[in-house]
Structure 1
Amino acid sequence: MRKVLFLTLLISTVVFSACGKKEFIAETDWKVEDFSAINQENQKVDLADLEGEVWIADFIFTNCATVCPPMTMNKAGLQQALKDENINNVRLVSFSVDPEFDTPEVLKEYATAFDVDQSNWDFLTGYNQEDVVELAKSSFKAIVQPDPNSNQVTHGTSFYLVNPDGIVVKNYSGFSDVPYEEIVEDVKLLITKE
């Protein structure tokens, strides 16, 4: 009788602990359209280069007078939070929404000014304005709109989590109240899932 009771208890424990295991739940299902760019090191980066990797994207530009500096600082904080959890196999990608001004050299200087680890963070340019407007709209459901009266560009402030299949599966505030713990946990779950 004791053996049966012990086995029942053991099976129940295993079943209930398995039920408590978290799974990643996607909130979006947006396929990233193919793109071709160059990064701050003058290296070609396109969608195929990111295939099979988890990556986090955002939209910024170096002349931004408002949201981009805090977003870049927040993403640097996220980069550190991921490192603190020994998550080193995530790519960070920042698309410039002002590709005419933001040459690789300008982006390199910008990244260096924020003292970020550039080994897994691509600051992208090398496409035209229409391309980034369309990429933002079709792949990330985000607005990119140049201001005709200034050198500023209106754009979204989210961080986008992209799975290894090139699907945007979740987005988060990248400007204020960034949910660092949630993003780190989601990345862990997504990497474990693959």
Structure 2
Amino acid sequence: MKNLLKIIVTACLSLIILNSCQEKTSENLDPNSIFNLSSKWEQADGTKIKLEDLKGKVLTMVMVYTSCKTACPKLTLDMKAIEAKVGHKNPEDLRYVLISIDPEHDTPEKMQEFLKTYQLNGKQWLFIRSSEANTRELANVLAMKYKQISPMDFSHSNIISVFSKDGLLVHQKEGINIDIDKTVSAVKSELK
């Protein structure tokens, strides 16, 4: 099942990237690299980035929203536990990226408050948001499904993804309260 999920994610990423490579800035990127996506993202401090700005870093990514009271807090704690187990001394090599599925309500102020509440300190932690279209595009790349079920509530997949320094998907963990050791191993392997 996991191999099938990885094949589907790779195929989706390839199709999305082929369609969005009009602004491709780096000719030596693998066609399946997440860094080929040209979307712009706003960080919790209000500054804008492209995913390509994260090239050269191992990325551990999860899609959440700040008003979630069920799965997102658990996913966030999983991300924090992954960071603790990875225990990497050089935060320049990796980023833990939270991606808002509710860009309308997850303002930079709410994202900052969320990072503070969960004590996600240091520049290795990013919380980003973009347009609905860009968010859906990235969700498709991550094989993450979500649906708004009320003005402030979403039903969504619970997937943590790990990408290599070249932006290639190397691992996914689906579910909450699931052993994170394989995810930790994937991150450590990519940091070598």
Interval containing the TM-score (normalised by the shorter chain): 0.7 to 0.9
Alpha-carbon distance in structure 1 between the residues aligned to 2:43 and 2:175: 21
Q: Residues 135-174 of structure 1 correspond to what in structure 2 (within 5 A)? A: 135-137=138-140, 139-147=141-149, 149-173=150-174
Task: Give the Å deviation of 1:118.
Answer: 3.5
Could you say which residue in structure 2 is the equivalent of 1:78?
82
Read off the aligned partner of 1:171 and give its amino acid letter. Answer: Q
Residues 55 and 163 in structure 1, CA contact (< 8 A), matched pair in contact too: yes
Alpha-carbon distance in structure 1 between the residues aligned to 2:39 and 2:99: 11
Could you say which residue in structure 2 is the equivalent of 1:130?
133
Task: Give the Å deviation of 1:71.
Answer: 0.9
Could you say which residue in structure 2 is the equivalent of 1:7?
none
Aligned residues: 161
Read off the aligned partner of 1:160 and give its amino acid letter. Answer: S
Residues 74 and 178 in structure 1, CA contact (< 8 A), matched pair in contact too: no
User: What SS does structure 2 have at the residue aligned with 1:79?
Assistant: helix
Task: Give the Å deviation of 1:157.
Answer: 0.9
User: What SS does structure 1 have at the residue aligned with 2:99?
Assistant: strand
Alpha-carbon distance in structure 1 between the residues aligned to 2:144 and 2:151: 21
Q: Kindly tell me: are residues 178 and 40 of structure 1, through their superposed partners in 2, closer, same or farther at Cα, counting changes over 3 Å? A: farther
| 1:57 counterpart = 2:44 | no
C-alpha RMSD over aligned residues? 1.9
Indicate the percent of aligned positions where both proteins have the same amino acid: 22
TM-score in terms of structure 1 length: 0.75
Larger Cα-atom Rg = 1
Task: Give the Å deviation of 1:92.
Answer: 0.6
Task: Give the Å deviation of 1:65.
Answer: 2.4
String of CA shifts for 1:143-179, please: whole Å, max 9, x gaps.
12222x3421222211100112212221013521132
Q: Kindly tell me: are residues 72 and 91 of structure 1, through their superposed partners in 2, closer, same or farther at Cα, counting changes over 3 Å? A: same
Could you say which residue in structure 2 is the equivalent of 1:97?
101
Q: Kindly tell me: are residues 62 and 159 of structure 1, through their superposed partners in 2, closer, same or farther at Cα, counting changes over 3 Å? A: same
Runs of 4+ in structure 1 displaced over 4 angstroms? none
Residues 75 and 174 in structure 1, CA contact (< 8 A), matched pair in contact too: no
Alpha-carbon distance in structure 2 between the residues aligned to 1:99 and 1:113: 19
Structure 1, unaligned runs of 5 or more: 1-26
String of CA shifts for 1:116-139, please: whole Å, max 9, x gaps.
2242110001x22232122201x1
String of CA shifts for 1:7-66, please: whole Å, max 9, x gaps.
xxxxxxxxxxxxxxxxxxxx5544323321111111222111111211100100001121
Residues 158 and 171 in structure 1, CA contact (< 8 A), matched pair in contact too: yes
User: What SS does structure 2 have at the residue aligned with 1:106?
Assistant: helix
Alpha-carbon distance in structure 2 between the residues aligned to 1:87 and 1:177: 27
TM-score in terms of structure 2 length: 0.76
User: What SS does structure 1 have at the residue aligned with 2:77?
Assistant: helix
Read off the aligned partner of 1:133 and give its amino acid letter. Answer: R
